[in-house]
Amino acid sequence: MSMINREVSDFFVQAYQNGEFKTVTRDDILGEWSVFFFYPADFTFVCPTELSDLQDKYEDFKAAGCEVYSISTDTHFVHKAWHDTSEKIGKITFPMLADPNHELCEDFEVMIESDGMAERGSFIINPEGRIVSYEVSAGNVGRNADELFRKLQACQFVAEHGDEVCPAKWQPGDATLRPSLDLVGRL
């Protein structure tokens, strides 16, 4: 069953960000766009490349009114240890959410029960707390922050211009489409 338009359930988790531990709840994501970026585990191989790539694009996400949350089943203490020991992870400034109880992984249906870890899932959540885009990839396939950002921009455009849609490879400023009977069979 699709998760599109599904409302994010209440949650209460610990996070590590900028040298501090903090609590993040569902209320914190309301009123702005969010990306939930699930990954299998700290101290692994593909994960630091993805999180580093996301950090390189983080200011663009922030400028677009979107907070990025990385999430694994590790604790906030493990996030801090990884942050303190890895050159790539040491640069991260977005919140790293801890999900050792699997609350978020199960709610977003990315939990690998047999491994106790999350799939690589990327979720774009609108300011009302609803999932508007998501993608789940195999654990051995890294993601691209540029494409995730492009999808965020398309979701924001469609939310603002409900009578227009974004075609493949759409970028801000590109032509959009207005669905109508006149377009059927012409594209």
Angle at 136 between CA 155 and CA 16, to 5 degrees: 85
CA neighbor of 14 nearest in space, from 61, 80, 108: 80
- Asked if 3 and 134 touch (Cβ cutoff 8 Å), the reply is yes
Please tell me the distance from the alpha carbon of residue 175 to that of residue 171, in angstroms, as a whole number.
9
DSSP letters of 120-154? EEEEEE-TTSBEEEEEEE-TT----HHHHHHHHHH
Q: Which residues are part of the catalytic machinery?
A: 47
Indicate the burial class of 100 (C-beta count within 10 angstroms; 0-12, 13-18, 19 or more): middle
For residues 166 and 170, what is the distance between their CA atoms, to the nearest angstrom? 6
